Amino acid sequence: MPSSFTTLISVPELQALMASGKPLMVFDCTFDLAQPSLGAVQYSETHIPGALHADLDRDLSAKHGAPGAAGTLTATEADAPASGGRHPLPNRERLATWLSSIGFANDMQAVVYDRNGANYCGRLWWMLKWAGHDAVAVLDGGLQAWVAAGQPVASGEEPTHFQSNFELGTPLRQLVTASEVQARLGQPGQTIVDARATPRYRGEVEPLDPVAGHIPGALNRPFGLNIGPDGKFKPAAELRAEFDALLQGKAPASVVHQCGSGVSAVPNVLAMEIAGLGPTALFAGSWSEWCSDPARPVERS
């Protein structure tokens, strides 16, 4: 067994880790954009024994502020978000406070999962890396893989953990701002990859944000393309070939990932790392922050 898991972990590997007695915390990040309260309900009904629920709105987004540019968010200095957009990223200090409150410690392995094709659990995977904690992995195949393997499930709420003192480390992943993305538009050192569905990217439909379209020059790779028919991430070689075809010679290190609100972009971040092409940067405010400023250019195709 490796000393830590940093990208994916399989069901057998998680079983072995649980049996080993090594410090571990499992997070169920199930969520539903259309029904924000549904994730907690689904977690309460069925989850991996011992897993805590990490809610996108409650735990993985800033507590204060409204959609728009980070500068327009109203918050105390301690709660000031690290990004704008529909799901503003909490700052690192606020993240550390939350992790401490649930008993997560620096010596723990974190395992995150959902039942949404790794769409939401990737957010916490990235946030922990950004907090300087490398020992975090996504359960490949999510809750569905756990259940399909005949593993036990639990219901209700899990017991609370003792307060810890999680300490931030040097960020292991790069966060970029809207102003940084705008300043580098059209430059060879920046390649934007948009994880939204192709009709949204083209500007044909826009169900969530006030403006349709995409950041000029952005490439499109819907995040669901990373998952195979079995519900797990595609093999590394297959992912690498697909990203090589998308980038067409552009340097992987130049990639900045975005989506609608910085959540579904993360499966692309993770997929590039599985493929041996990462780490890469994240524009967490994404399209919802970008299009909040009418001065920023918009492309439709």
List the catalytic residues: 259
Contacts of 235 (CB under 8 A, 6+ apart): none
Backbone angles phi, psi at 47, to 5 degrees: -155, 165
β-bridge mates for residue 256, sequence order: 192, 281
Q: Where are the alpha helices (DSSP H) in the chain?
A: 11-20, 38-45, 92-101, 121-130, 142-148, 178-183, 198-202, 236-247, 266-274, 286-290
Q: Residue 72 in 3-state DSSP?
A: helix
Query: HSE (CB half, 13 Å, CA atoms) of 239?
Result: 24
Order of strands across the sheet with 219-220?
175-176, 281-283, 255-258, 191-194, 219-220
Range 57-66, long-range pairs (CB < 8 A, 24+ positions): 57/31, 57/87, 59/98, 60/29, 60/87, 60/90, 60/120, 60/123, 60/124, 60/127, 61/87, 61/88, 61/89, 61/90, 62/88, 62/89, 62/90, 62/91, 62/94, 63/90, 63/94
Largest separation between any pair of C-alpha atoms in the chain: 55
SS3 for 53?
Answer: strand
- For residues 47, 52, 54, 59, the Cα torsion angle rounded to the nearest 10 degrees is 160
Distance between CA atoms of residues 81 and 89, nearest Å:
6
